[in-house]
Amino acid sequence: MPMKITYATMSTDNEEMNRAYEDALESVKPRLGQDHGVAVDGTHRKDRDFFEEVSPIDSGIIVGRYAQAVTQDVDDAVSAARAFAPEWEAWGWERRRDLMLAAADHMDGQLFELAALMSYEIGKNRLESLGDVAETVEFLRYYAGQITEHEGFITPLSSHGPNDANTSVLRPFGVWGVISPFNFPMALAGGPSTGALITGNTVVIKPSNQGALMALEFHRVMLEAGLPKEALHVITGGDEIGDYLAHHPKVDGLTFTGSYPVGMYLYRTVNETRPKPVVCEMGGKNPVVVTSSADLDVATQGIVRGAFGLSGQKCSATSRVYVEEEVYDELIDKLVEAAGSVAVGNPLEQNTFMGPVIDDAAVERFQKAVDEVKNSGGEVLAGGVVLTEGEMAKGSYVAPTVVSAPLDSWVWKEELFVPFVAVTKVKSLEEGIALSNDTDFGLTAGLFSGDETEIDTWFKEIQAGVTYVNRAAGATTGAWPDINPFGGWKGSGTSGTGGGGPWYLRQFLREQSRTLIKN
């Protein structure tokens, strides 16, 4: 494929890519609407209650029915993973690395089919879906490169004399739990799982019921590539079964991606009986500052892509915009025009930029935020309506929305996960930074400025883990392995390391200091 797909890809103007994707949309239809069992130790247990997942594009499309795990399924998966963990570690890092590289090639060969399934399941447009699968492939390859670069994290140390040999060896914890969300259903199930697996841990994934198909597809691809069935299990089910997995006494580490309240609950409670790593990547309320020196066309494009990509359902979505008053009116005019020009509709179609939100609950959350703006004395500048025209009546569609609101309104504080961005004027960059930092979150942030001193000041003072300046491809969105490590500060993350970055694998490992005295 001549065109490399990432979240920064700006155009669908690629005939070969479009033809391959559209062929895949047809070829995967027989894979929709199937019953899927809980994947434990290579078996698929279907004698359970089922959750029926419908597509947000059209509620008449059944994506799949997923067996809802019981606690015995979790116990069995964790027991199988624990029993196999010593053998998996004994494989050695080179053999595990080679398997991950083989899995990357295998997944890459199914890129379009997996992306098509994801579009049906989540309502992502083609570039977003292709990017999600391509990012998962890149995680496999990047982490393989990282473990090679660090030579398996085995480091010779100094000695007291010629008769002692000392080594630092980073070793896996054992069984790792991964709780993944709906919005990046392949990358956020596959990325942490790859990090855990390549470092020698065995893994149990609990995906969201909305997005479970892609976690099961990741499991399928990995086993087809040669991963032993005991090394990876997928527990489908609701919040209660995720809670049970997270607190299971024989789970040795946990990665959670989701909301701040749930993440903080897990962070506080999982370690009650014994210390274990709990890596929580939580939400964001991601700010952008636009100064009077900015290129306003670039700023407009970056804000629109950041706020409305994936219908605002990214934890990195652009949510708050602080504009120096000299250029406020001009930027508002440009944002309103651009929001009105966003192509909203069926994400399976080539020219659609923004598809549906995930479900009716998201539509209700959107309407609640719009009502809050009106009731608080703010103004809806663009959008603000639920879309029910034509085919959109079958799904969950809302308009890309730009608002102004008083700074004491909760729309400035709460993560919304809908295509909704609030804009206000500020007197200076310093005021914009202060307001940007006035939040419990610290995931992503953006700046648009043409002044090097402003840029340097902003980088030094902004409190966020992922930062972008003058990025038209997404003011606060679009992280990619080995390019933009993704991890939050403050209430957005607990590990201090970003996924897809050079320090990520370290959190799946614990140090063993080895001293050998030679006779």
Read off the pLDDT of residues 313-331 as tens digits, 9 standing for 90 and up: 999 999 999 999 999 999 9
**Interval 63-82 mean pLDDT:** 98
The count of domains in the chain is: 2
Q: Which residues pair with 444 in a beta bridge?
A: 466
Is residue 73 within 8 A of residue 242, CB to CB? The reply is: no
With 0-12 CB in 10 A as exposed, 13-18 as middle and 19+ as buried, what is 51? Answer: middle
Q: Which of 146, 142, 124 is nearest to 479 (CA)?
A: 142
Tell whether 24 is covered by a domain: no
Catalytic residue at 315? Answer: yes
**Residue 264: half-sphere exposure toward Cβ, Cα within 13 Å:** 9
For the cut 90, the answer to whether the pLDDT of residue 466 exceeds it is yes
- 188 within domain boundaries: yes
What average pLDDT does the segment 213-233 reach?
98
Q: Which one has a higher pLDDT value, 114 or 5?
A: 114
Q: What is the pLDDT of residue 382?
A: 98
Q: Is 133 within 8 Å of 111 (Cβ atoms)?
A: yes
Answer yes or no: do 183 and 239 share one domain: yes
Q: Are residues 234 and 308 in the same domain?
A: no
Q: Which helix (H) or strand (E) holds 496?
A: none
Res. 53: pLDDT tops 90: yes
Model pTM score: 0.96
Catalytic residue among 138, 217, 230, 281: 281
In a domain, 505, yes or no: yes
Taking 70 as the threshold, does the pLDDT of residue 211 lie above it?
yes
Whole-angstrom Cα distance, residue 443 to residue 287?
A: 9
Q: Is 26 domain-assigned?
A: no
Contacts of 122 (CB under 8 A, 6+ apart): 56, 129, 182, 183, 185, 210, 211, 214, 358
Whether pLDDT at 2 is above 60: no
Alpha-carbon distance of 145 to 2, in angstroms, equals 23
Q: Are residues 247 and 339 in the same domain?
A: no
Residue 1 has pLDDT above 60, yes or no: no
Name which of 516, 519, 496, 492 is nearest 507 in CA terms: 496
Phi first, then psi, for residue 291 (nearest 5°) are -95, 170
Residue 254 — φ and ψ, nearest 5°?
-140, 135
In a domain, residue 23? The reply is no
**From CA 49, how far away is CA 65, in angstroms rounded?**
9
pLDDT, residue 519, reads 80
User: 395 in a domain, yes or no?
Assistant: yes
Q: What percent of the chain has pLDDT over 70?
A: 99
CB 197 within 8 A of CB 231: yes
Q: Which residue is listed with tokens 């982490």?
A: 143
Average pLDDT along the chain: 97
Q: Which residues contact 514 (CB under 8 A, 6 or more apart)?
A: 166, 167, 168, 169
Tell me how far apart the terminal alpha carbons of the chain are, to the nearest angstrom: 60
Within a domain: 295: yes
Is 280 among the catalytic positions? no
CATH number, domain with residue 199: 3.40.605.10
309/412 same-domain check: yes
Residues 345 and 214 in one domain: no
Asked if residue 54 and residue 90 are part of one domain, the reply reads yes
The sign of the CA dihedral 197, 201, 207, 212 is: positive
Check pLDDT > 70 for residue 3. Answer: no
Judge whether 392 and 352 are in contact, CB under 8 Å: no
Catalytic one of 121, 315, 415, 454: 315
**Together in a domain, 220 and 305:** no
Of 462, 457, 429, 404, the residue nearest 293 (C-alpha): 429
Residue among 11, 181, 214, 172 at smallest CA distance from 88: 172
Q: How far is CA 395 from the centre of its chain?
A: 23
Tell me if 73 is assigned to some domain: yes
Q: DSSP string covering 93-111, please?
A: HHHHHHHHHHHHHHHHTTH
Q: Residue 472 pLDDT more than 60?
A: yes
pLDDT tens profile 237-296 = 999 999 999 999 999 999 999 999 999 999 999 998 899 999 999 999 999 999 999 999
Query: In this structure, which amino acid lies at residue 24?
Result: A
Type of residue found at 454: E
One domain, residues 69 and 207: yes
Residues 278 and 297 in one domain: no
State the burial class of residue 33 (Cβ atoms within 10 Å of its Cβ: 0-12, 13-18, 19+). middle
pLDDT digits (tens, 9 = 90+) for 378-434: 999 999 999 999 999 999 999 999 999 999 999 999 999 999 999 999 999 999 999
Regarding whether 127 and 267 lie in a shared domain, the answer is yes
Residues 118 and 244 in one domain: yes
| Structural domain range at position 429 | 286-482
From the CA atom positions of the chain, what is the Rg in Å? 23
Q: Are residues 228 and 334 in the same domain?
A: no
Is residue 500 within 8 A of residue 144, CB to CB? The reply is no
The DSSP code for 465 is S
